[in-house]
């Protein structure tokens, strides 16, 4: 830099000398022809030097270019350093994430392995129990069910089913005569909120025989004999079950129900008393209705079965009808 300054000072001095020499030389002076190229060359050199002096010279421009390149390299290094730091941070974060993922995977893999091992063992036990215990029992149940269905198809008929229903209705009708069919509940309004926990006390209970005597029990016994005779001897007798059932329904609705809903002296002695009909009353009513419905159906089915058995009997021939006898004096 000192050398450049000296050169610049020299060039400035030379420029000043040249300008002073031009000022000293007269403008219209005569010059030798040999000196003209020299003066022109000197002028061009002076102008070039003056331009270099004003512009700073090629060394200055080269220095500026070098400094610019250095600054650019420095900026590039800074940018590259920041980019590299970012890349390093990204690589470090990725490595940490991979480590965390690996740790979490291992932490989850061991319980999963343990669970899979336990599940496999349980699956083997369950499969063995199913193959050796449950499946044979299920097959046995299905086999019994098929046998029962085949037996039912061969044995159970509509007439036999209706016979069982009639016998059950007859038995329940007779059994309903030995229970209390009505009662009086004391303090019914007070027990409304706690009805699910405690029931109101019941007094003045009575059996159905106190209202209609032994008539319903007699109808039940008679219905039992009617059912047996209808199946054994004559199907027409089964139609009597209709009359017995209607009689039971009429007694239940016209006699037992009004008598059962009377409070009597309990209504005067207790506040909030309420008469209710109990289970035996409803058993009696529905048993009578069942007999009334089953009686005609049983007669129809018994008649159809007997007609079918007669048609299937081998070697039985229909009897020839006799020709009507002619009365004396008719047709002559």
Per-residue pLDDT of the chain (332 residues; tens, 9 = 90+): 444 555 555 555 555 554 544 444 444 444 455 566 677 777 777 776 666 555 555 677 777 788 888 888 777 777 766 777 788 888 888 888 888 888 888 888 888 888 888 888 998 999 999 888 888 999 999 999 999 888 877 777 888 889 999 999 999 999 999 988 888 877 666 666 666 666 777 788 888 888 888 999 999 999 999 999 998 888 889 899 999 999 999 999 999 888 888 887 766 667 677 788 888 999 999 999 999 999 999 999 888 888 877 776 655 555 555 555 555 554 44
Helix, coil or strand: residue 183: strand
- Buried (b) or exposed (e) across 217-250, using 16+ Cβ within 10 A? bebbebbbebbeebbeeebebbebbbbbbebbbe
Structure confidence at residue 331 (pLDDT)? 46
CB atoms within 10 A of CB 261: 13
Backbone angles phi, psi at 138, to 5 degrees: -65, -40
Give the side-chain half-sphere CA count within 13 A for 73. Answer: 6
Structure confidence at residue 110 (pLDDT)? 83
- As a whole number of angstroms, the distance between CA 295 and CA 248 comes to 14
What is the maximum span of the chain, computed from C-alpha positions, in angstroms? 203
Structure confidence at residue 33 (pLDDT)? 58
Structure confidence at residue 330 (pLDDT)? 47
DSSP category for residue 158: H
Q: State the residue for tokens 């006799």.
A: 322
The structure's pTM equals 0.51
Pairing type for strands 202-206 and 182-185 reads antiparallel
């Amino acid at each position: 830099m000192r050398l450049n300054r000296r050169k610049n000072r020299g060039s400035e001095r030379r420029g000043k000398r040249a300008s002073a020499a031009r000022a000293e030389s007269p403008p219209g002076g005569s010059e030798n022809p040999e000196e003209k190229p020299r003066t022109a060359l000197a002028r061009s050199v002076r102008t070039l030097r003056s331009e270099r002096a004003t512009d700073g010279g090629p060394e200055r421009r080269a220095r500026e270019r070098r400094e610019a390149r250095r600054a650019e390299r420095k900026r590039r290094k800074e940018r590259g350093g920041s980019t590299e730091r970012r890349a390093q941070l990204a690589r470090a974060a990725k490595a940490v994430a991979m480590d965390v993922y690996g740790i979490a995977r291992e932490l989850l893999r061991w319980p999963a392995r343990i669970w899979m091992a336990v599940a496999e063992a349980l699956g083997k036990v369950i499969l063995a129990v199913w193959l050796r215990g449950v499946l044979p029992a299920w097959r046995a149940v299905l086999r019994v069910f098929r046998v029962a269905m085949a037996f039912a198809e061969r044995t159970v008929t509509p007439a036999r089913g209706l016979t069982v229903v009639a016998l059950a209705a007859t038995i329940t009708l007779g059994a309903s005569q030995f229970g209390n069919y009505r009662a009086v509940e004391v303090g019914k309004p007070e027990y409304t909120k706690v009805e699910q926990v405690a029931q109101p006390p019941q007094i003045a209970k009575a059996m159905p025989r106190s209202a209609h005597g032994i008539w319903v029990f007699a109808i039940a016994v008679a219905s039992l004999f009617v059912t047996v005779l209808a199946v054994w001897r004559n199907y027409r007798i089964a139609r009597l079950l209709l009359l017995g059932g209607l009689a039971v329904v009429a007694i239940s609705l016209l006699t037992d129900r009004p008598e059962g809903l009377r409070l009597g002296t309990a209504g005067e002695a207790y506040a909030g008393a309420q008469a209710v009909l109990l289970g035996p009353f409803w058993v009696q009513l529905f048993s009578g209705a069942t007999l009334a419905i089953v009686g005609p159906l049983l007669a129809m089915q018994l008649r159809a079965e007997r007609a079918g058995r007669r048609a299937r009997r081998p070697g039985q021939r229909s009897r020839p009808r006799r020709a009507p006898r002619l009365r004396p004096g008719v047709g002559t």
